Structure 1
């Protein structure tokens, strides 16, 4: 077994990687069941691919920030363990595909050499914290949200309150009211505000996409920056306790907020106040407040062959920064995919000629920051050599799409294939839309909306459609979504379903009608609202006829074989483990983790481990009776009802467990609470052993 400790200074990270390697060995030996192992690897960024025997690795890059050294490291890892391709996601992560499971500990250890983690990039955890890619340079922003996104990432990484939730949890930080980090579709969204000179945030809660999109509610109009981490912690505690755990399709925070109502939810959040590890949490912004230091270099002399093209590039891809004399350069990355040879050259450019920083965007692009104005011609020439000077950054021709059936288990139809075809249509037939930033096209390969199709002006969702006894790949056409701003957004209407091969024609129908029927200076959304959904249904209806399909219509984009609608088991939020023995084993582990945290004076963490142990232990016993265990709150109620006369405690079980809500996490309280958890675990395991023994004797 490789000694990662010699490579990694941080003992917590070293232990994490060694634990993964040990668990992989146990899994191969058949000593850990598939469901339990899946949950563990997902929380470490390892996601099963559509292709058998290989994994997708998701690299967690908070708010998309990447240095030259980190990009070099990611490129090296991709070349060593994969195929040299990097994929930017719509949550500012990088994914590497086709990695062998047994190689993942080595890969992770190498990434950690440059402070890059896989931890909690997937699974039922707090996912990557996203932010506006222009944070820190935006002329309109009241302040830089980057340090706050960084602090949230650091505080909740490996935090016991968010390791085994019912579903994933997404957080975003928008730098301005334009809401470019999409607060209205996140579980928690923060929008930077100033209130009489004080820094703070407007907070949105309970948003989400998927098959049932829901706009977030305004939780509060302003909260000071030192209160955001305690608030997030309280929300996560409530979600962990009351969130659905059995019905996966109803387990996101948006359903809990919808079910009990915002007022009741906020009340539960306030009740967690006493138990929090910090009542306020000061966030250090010093690293982000430093003056930008650029390398002193001689400006390279370059010759621009076509000034018209160069000026168009400056118009569409170059953004003036709030720092005088500095500019950001947007790079349009087709489908979010780029290769390691270009990544290395890009890393060299930002190290030598900029401020050694780029940001990945939520539209799967790259933004180079802090470039001197006199260096813009040089960057244009160098980026053009890499194929990175294509105009139209963040415009209509810059289509967002998920990987779809290329690699994803849940993909129904090819989202990348239709994207390529639509981009051809736009480039060849509608060149005047090259710099149109009023219309967005987004594409997902299934209803889960990783390509964010449900909030696009023009969206396409991969589906299947029947024609006689055959099945063809299809697209649901959605229209009318978009960002309104300041936490408000609108979701697209599902207009009509058409065969996938007619997607390009549908785009032509829409753009031609818009061009001929729009009123003076009318935006696409206003035109859509004026015409209404039924108009567009009638417009596109001829394309929905399946009685005249040809052989090519039964083949998906990029394929020469007949389409088969095959969908695997999704892994994006893990699997709930309901095995009694596994739960009791995990309860024992939690008690040991509680004791270890107690020794380190991490009282809040220790108490939460103890709390989770009690809930797991109670759930294990309820499962032997086939009782409901949908939420932690239900588990506590049902256990008290069914086992209070069998498991004798000093107080009713609910009071016994909910001590965590009513006490500050002091050393005195936490010590007793951990002892209570161990006492309860012993009582339950003794009872279970006794009842099982009696049952066996009766059968004998």
Structure 2
């Protein structure tokens, strides 16, 4: 593998990319284990696919924003390194697939030329921070949350407190109480609020913590009804420090923050968070929202001649896909992107044609579409015409006809059955049999290829996730049907109920049955979830039960949507989070590496970062020795306590008080230069003695 040179202005980014290239080379040479390398590449946005030998690269777009030039850069990257397809995700990222591992550093370097990163797009990190796509133009927002989402993104990118947590962290900002970012299903959910204090308007956020979907959905709990804006980022850091230290690390399925809160209770969780306050880097992080660059409307220019071929469709598109911004005289337009897939060719075509009519600020939406901003009313027909020419002018954005689906068995290791195939079949049912529902934005249909909920089925009015059934000794693809999920508002949400499981090929019949029943028995103006509540889960189970009959199966039922061969379950190793690394030698190497990072940070005046790196070195070194002694560890707190039990109380290591007291100085001291240097030197001494102990493994060691 040949090395390459980057031409980036940011030395931190450049070092990151060169480090990835170096680690790929060492991995290929066999110097780095597969487990270690997997966690490293995941934190750099490189994710293994279902297909062996190729990677999915996740491009991190904070709150879904990309300029037209960034969009073009991503399209060009997909042509050069991928398949020419851009997949828009429910986390407002863009994914490209079938990328050669050796090409990922070069790909990353080219993205960074337009300030686009893949860093921490996967792995046990703070993932992409999402936000309401209308932020900044929402007529109902108390204030624009975009500067705050951006500040949080930049603060936690490469931050030592969130590089190797037990699991991923997801943060979402909603623009108003309508909660269109679904704050209730995130580790951190933020909703903007204002209040009057002594005649002055104060900005802040309602803060929710501990939400999540997956196989066991949890609604987030309210931590603050109002937290002042400058206290928000320090609070998030406090929580991350607690999660890093106390969160589960062995059982991946119990490692999200929601499980930690469930285990210890909200009262104890809040106590631990307050304990960390003294040690955080800064006690306030003010965001100068007034200095935030305002999105500039497009410079008025000549619009090419065009002709609306279907005026009726245009009116439907205008009614369902556009809205008037809070900035008087401008409209925004949504683009319905089927299954979130848009080609690089179409992307460049749109960029060129739309440039005279839209702002240089395009948002990827959380339902896998696009939002175009600052369109003059007289230019709406032109924008529609451009979209229609690209086969993207369909009305019904965010309606029942706009189905959200993850990639499923197309590329994902964890998928059990097809998401994209059944999504297309369900959209055909709406289009062909219920065309008037294109105006219905109450009912949401969401599909995931497995129970992990990347397609957000757990908060859908009508949700499906991939599963399987057995009949006469053969396996067939199936769908778990969920009903009744959705947004209530102001941080309150509904988790859908699992109602029944049916063969996948009967998914369209499930939808037909539900919609016909709703049309026939729903009360005037009754919303779908209101109807579901009135009738009850058992009613819908009995309604759909005839579709579960396996006695009438046909050959086609054993073939999944979009496939030609008989179905067989083929689930790979999931990479939604990094794999825990338990090799003693590797852990000691990591402890040494963290000490190097600590020294660099302290030398550069980043004392809090240096202290945290030193803390991580303590934990990694202790874990290495414990594992060498056959003691398994599942939390950092457990590691610290177990080291006292197995190494200090037995006299193998000696501390003035205890290992725990030594290590947890981290949250009892301000992050000053003096403490940083002292803590680093003590961590360095411990690491040196740990190495001696591992080699000799007999005599007690003075630390």
Same fold (TM over 0.5): yes
Work out whether 1:153 is the aligned partner of 2:153. Answer: yes
Instruction: Write the distance in 2 (CA, Å) between the matches of 1:55 and 1:6.
Output: 21
Q: Where does residue 698 of structure 1 map in the other structure?
A: none
Work out whether 1:639 is the aligned partner of 2:655. Answer: no
Instruction: Write the distance in 1 (CA, Å) between the matches of 2:698 and 2:21.
Output: 35
- SS of corresponding position for 1:229: helix
- SS of corresponding position for 2:653: coil
Instruction: Write the distance in 1 (CA, Å) between the matches of 2:6 and 2:102.
Output: 20
**Equivalent pair of 1:206/1:215 in contact (CA under 8 Å):** yes
Q: CA deviation at 1:332?
A: 0.3
Work out whether 1:165 is the aligned partner of 2:171. Answer: no
Q: CA deviation at 1:311?
A: 1.3
- SS of corresponding position for 2:23: helix
CA-based RMSD of the aligned residues comes to: 1.3
Q: CA deviation at 1:380?
A: 1.2
Structure 1: gaps (5+ residues):
695-700
Q: Where does residue 687 of structure 1 map in the other structure?
A: 693
Work out whether 1:650 is the aligned partner of 2:656. Answer: yes
Deviation readout 1:496-547 (Å, 9 max, x if unpaired): 1100000001100000000000011111011100110111111111100112
Q: Where does residue 585 of structure 2 map in the other structure?
A: 581
Q: Where does residue 117 of structure 2 map in the other structure?
A: 117
- SS of corresponding position for 1:218: strand
* Residue among 366, 384, 387 paired with 1:383: 387
Q: CA deviation at 1:302?
A: 3.4
Instruction: Write the distance in 2 (CA, Å) between the matches of 1:278 and 1:125.
Output: 21
**Equivalent pair of 2:652/2:699 in contact (CA under 8 Å):** no
Q: Where does residue 238 of structure 2 map in the other structure?
A: 234
Structure 2: gaps (5+ residues):
none
Q: CA deviation at 1:346?
A: 2.1
Q: CA deviation at 1:299?
A: 4.5
**Equivalent pair of 1:68/1:350 in contact (CA under 8 Å):** no
Q: Where does residue 405 of structure 1 map in the other structure?
A: 409
**Equivalent pair of 2:400/2:442 in contact (CA under 8 Å):** yes
* Residue among 398, 414, 420 paired with 1:416: 420
Work out whether 1:465 is the aligned partner of 2:469. Answer: yes
**Equivalent pair of 1:628/1:634 in contact (CA under 8 Å):** no
Q: CA deviation at 1:691?
A: 1.4
**Equivalent pair of 2:3/2:21 in contact (CA under 8 Å):** no
Deviates more, 1:353-362 or 1:494-503: 353-362
**Equivalent pair of 1:4/1:109 in contact (CA under 8 Å):** no
Work out whether 1:68 is the aligned partner of 2:77. Answer: no
Instruction: Write the distance in 1 (CA, Å) between the matches of 2:661 and 2:523.
Output: 65
Q: Counterparts of 1:129-528 in structure 2 under 5 Å?
A: 129-196=129-196, 197-286=201-290, 288=292, 290=294, 292-528=296-532
Q: CA deviation at 1:575?
A: 0.2
**Equivalent pair of 1:5/1:11 in contact (CA under 8 Å):** no
Q: CA deviation at 1:640?
A: 1.0
TM-score, normalising length: structure 1: 0.98
**Equivalent pair of 1:299/1:374 in contact (CA under 8 Å):** no
Q: Where does residue 697 of structure 1 map in the other structure?
A: none
- SS of corresponding position for 2:624: helix
- SS of corresponding position for 2:117: coil
Q: CA deviation at 1:626?
A: 2.0
Q: CA deviation at 1:137?
A: 0.2
Instruction: Write the distance in 2 (CA, Å) between the matches of 1:42 and 1:230.
Output: 26
* Residue among 669, 676, 679 paired with 2:682: 676
Cα gap change, 1:299/1:80 in structure 2, threshold over 3 Å: closer, same or farther? closer
Q: CA deviation at 1:435?
A: 1.0
Cα gap change, 1:561/1:299 in structure 2, threshold over 3 Å: closer, same or farther? closer
TM-score, normalising length: structure 2: 0.97
Q: CA deviation at 1:300?
A: 4.3
Number of equivalences:
694
**Equivalent pair of 1:39/1:575 in contact (CA under 8 Å):** yes
Deviation readout 1:180-233 (Å, 9 max, x if unpaired): 111110000000111112111000000000000000000110011111110111
Instruction: Write the distance in 2 (CA, Å) between the matches of 1:175 and 1:167.
Output: 27
**Equivalent pair of 2:346/2:390 in contact (CA under 8 Å):** yes
**Equivalent pair of 2:207/2:226 in contact (CA under 8 Å):** yes
**Equivalent pair of 1:350/1:356 in contact (CA under 8 Å):** no
Q: Counterparts of 1:537-576 in structure 2 under 5 Å?
A: 537-576=541-580
Deviates more, 1:1-10 or 1:111-120: 1-10
Deviates more, 1:19-28 or 1:375-384: 375-384
Instruction: Write the distance in 2 (CA, Å) between the matches of 1:201 and 1:383.
Output: 37
Deviates more, 1:371-380 or 1:293-302: 293-302
